[in-house]
Structure 1
Amino acid sequence: MTPSSSALPPSSIAERVTAVRARIDAACRAAGRDPGDVTLTAVSKTQPPEAIDAILGTGQRIFGENRVQEAQGRWTERRATSPDLELRLIGPLQTNKGEDAVDLFDVIETLDREKLARALAQAAEKRGRSPRVLVQVNTGAEPQKAGVLPDAADSLIVAARETYGLTVDGLMCIPPADQDAEPHFKMLRHLADRNGLSVLSMGMSGDYETAIRCGATHVRVGTALFGERNRP
């Protein structure tokens, strides 16, 4: 990807990282939570190299990507020199990309069907590497959006754990853009509690403080860190 002329200067990205971390800390304290319990995932999809280098310079080491192939181009070389990076797949995953995803990502947040669980288990056995997974729940039952429906989430969690031997850390959701996010975050937390899961990846640039109030352990922030998204 060629660098975008709209990319923010490194100093601006550093300031934005500081501001977002301060807001996460404030939201945690307002909710009576330890700020150390909430992890910032920087959504690096579509960002040019200078933006990635700038945010790495702030000490940020956890990143979310939407597409396997794009992430390979962005992170394969950087990972060789920065083994402390954690890469999280936050976009839909096709089963035929399972092996590539298992090779690259530490966490796959978008498990949403048993066929994908089977593909990931097979890829993990073949590659000798098994990323942790989150089950993505389509809390708004939106037909255009990935994610298992809420009433099928329990059975998918059981299958992923018991049938396919995957390490299910928790749940992820993306609430409908035109609805109040809080009920969706509360639904996800209820599902997680019911299944003994501790990780809740929920909340983005516009609603991560609400998500923290509802129990988020990971917030996925892109625009608030990098500015408006650069399009490929």
Structure 2
Amino acid sequence: MSSMLSIALRCSTNSIRLPPYRLQKTTTLFQQAIIKNCNSIGGFRSGLSVISRNFCTRNIDINTNVAKDVVLFTYENPKFYKVINIFGIAQFVFWTYLSHFALTTLKDAPVEENPEVELSWYQRINLGENKYRNGISVFCFLVGYGILFSVWMFTLRSVRFLILRKGGNAVSFVTYGPFNRNRIMDVPLNCMSAQEARELAKVQLPIKVKNKSLYYVLDMRGEFKNPKLFDYTAGLKRNL
């Protein structure tokens, strides 16, 4: 019995390259078949035969050597990214103006000390003093710059189109960009890794690209044009 089980396991894992979520389904089906059919040797053999038919002879040979470029994923929402880019620019302008206002308007006005009156801590602060004036100016500028940087990085990491290039060895990331300009980057398949299975992702599917900071994000509200081809190319988790 143990030898038959080992043969079935080798058949389902070694001879077939399955994505992680399919391997999990395979293991679950093995367990269900064993529990259901372990009352007799004949039943156990029949369970293994069912597993063999489902996994060892299933036609999962996906041809990734495509003859032309194939669109794997699309997400069309340019209006949203236009709005958040306008928001980021507006915030940058506002906080930069506030920084300039603080630097040029705050005057050095020392607080007069009166021994008869005890002032609160905030009343003893001279905002016109150089360290406070410069600190406020730098802080306001960094807030505006941080908001703009975050908005632009989110936009540049949001995938609009994911295209499997001719030959099946590389993928093109077409991402949104500031001012409605798309950015295109070609990445070999062995230099990218999906951090989650497509069927398990709920909101976003992050993809790590070698030597790139942050993740490229596939919004699950988009459309997978060829889901099986995606699972066996861009959707695989790899060690980078």
Give the alignment's TM-score, normalised by structure 1.
Answer: 0.21
Bigger radius of gyration: 2
Give the alignment's TM-score, normalised by structure 2.
Answer: 0.20
